[in-house]
Amino acid sequence: MKKIIANFKMNKTNSEIKEYIMKLLPKFEQGKVDLVLCVPFTALTISKFLLADSGINLGAQNICDEDDGKSTGEISGTMIKNCGADYVIVGHSERRVKFKENGRIINKKIKLALKNRLKVVLCIGESLAEKNTLKTNEVLKAQLEEALKGLYENELDNIIIAYEPVWAIGTGKTPLVKELENTIKVIRKVVTDDFSPKAGEKIEILYGGSVDLKNCGTFCKIKNINGMLIGGASLDADNFSQIIKNIK
Applying CB under 6 A, the residues found at the interface with ligand PGA are: 7, 164, 169-170, 208-211, 229-233
User: Minimum CB separation from ligand PGA for residue 59, in Å?
Assistant: 12
- The C-alpha torsion from 68 through 118 and 96 to 105, rounded to 10°, is 40
User: Minimum CB separation from ligand PGA for residue 164, in Å?
Assistant: 6
SS3 content of the chain, % helix, strand, coil (to 5): 50, 15, 35
Cβ-based nearer residue to ligand PGA, 126 or 164: 164
User: Minimum CB separation from ligand PGA for residue 172, in Å?
Assistant: 8
Active-site hit among 74, 126, 164, 201? 164
- Residue 189's CB: how many other CB atoms inside 10 A? 14
- Residue 71's CB: how many other CB atoms inside 10 A? 12
Cβ-based nearer residue to ligand PGA, 60 or 199: 60
What is the length of the chain?
Answer: 248
Cβ-based nearer residue to ligand PGA, 172 or 197: 172
Active-site hit among 29, 66, 92, 204? 92
Q: Is 201 a catalytic residue?
A: no
Q: Is 164 a catalytic residue?
A: yes
Q: What distance in Å separates the CA atoms of residue 29 and residue 32, rounded to the nearest whole number?
A: 6
Cβ-based nearer residue to ligand PGA, 83 or 169: 169
CB-nearest residue to ligand PGA: 231
Q: What distance in Å separates the CA atoms of residue 119 and residue 2, rounded to the nearest whole number?
A: 16
Phi, psi (5° rounding) for residue 35? -105, 135
User: Minimum CB separation from ligand PGA for residue 76, in Å?
Assistant: 23
Phi, psi (5° rounding) for residue 41? -50, -40
Nearest to 96 by CA among 123, 75, 77, 72: 123
User: Minimum CB separation from ligand PGA for residue 180, in Å?
Assistant: 14
- Residue 76's CB: how many other CB atoms inside 10 A? 18
Cβ-based nearer residue to ligand PGA, 40 or 200: 40
Cα 118 to chain centroid, rounded: 13
Residues involved in catalysis: 92, 164
